Structure 1
């Protein structure tokens, strides 16, 4: 199974060993299935609230991954209520959901698991600036970040932890390579988007100017 550019980018960020990897809402389990092969010593958890999807996924896993059944579990549940395994190294991956929902899930997981290390790989659909600002407010730090283009759309992939010392920035730092034409395209589109939003007199935040400052760096 060939992963999409976005999921392949996420998979390549999983370089450390984790006792438990939680694949949440990630393209019907495709990412988790790939991680079964690349991380044979990790328990891969497939999580989604849609019962029909999880029944189908479990059926497929039983057919094609029967030899490693002890390595995976399927959970039909709200991602906000993940039963993280305390005292073990957990990685939570959330991709393919909107920025508002993504932040709601991260905040709920943080609230329910105060006092333990939380590590996420996040790939929101839209609202990246808002997501970053909320993550900063929640006290997360940056491990790495990558910009990826897939099917004419751009995605920001953020690897973060509440133990990471490097600050997250509201417009991104490490992900930019402005000698790359695709990165230039994404930056110009983002600036134009916020300039249109700021034409609304109710909008006082000059987000576009923060992105424009990247050009001068």
Structure 2
């Protein structure tokens, strides 16, 4: 067996192994399993975000509560000042009332914001419970699907291992340089090797110039300029 025939024989067995692997990946059970996994990851991410939002709201609520306390203290101080030193002129009364009004407006605004935060926190906690429940149910489904998939793919994985072993046995007879080129090309296109058929690359059906045909027939390593495959006679 010459070097190109050995490479071709290896590709045939390697492609059979890849086909089995692809069939395993296309399994409906596997697809459901991956969908369940993605759903769980999404719910975990959502739950984490809710926790961060609630924590931020709690911190903001504490800050506002402190601000309300300070505003009430200022209001109390204004009242004490009024009682200790009542304003003597209309302008002084007007200025004091304006300060009192600002304090009360500030307190009302803070109280409205706290009310909003409490409602949003309650809503987020309810959402958090629902997310945890959905994730827990999805985990049960995931575990069941995983068991089904492992049982389903057991025989197919055995077939894959057998086929990989066949390919590996032939691989030992392939020229290392050709094998390296094969693996490099396979990352971009599969199968990576094509036959020369009626003056064309059988991979993409591109007609080749006579100079390239001569190189291929002489045993030189040639890659198709169109599809990038190795072309062998």
On whether the aligned pair clears a TM of 0.5, the verdict is: no
User: Looking at both structures, which has the greater relative contact order when contacts are Cα pairs under 8 Å and sequence separation is at least 6?
Assistant: 2
Shorter-chain TM range is under 0.3
Larger Rg: 2
Question: Taking structure 1 as the reference length, what is the TM-score of the superposition?
Answer: 0.19
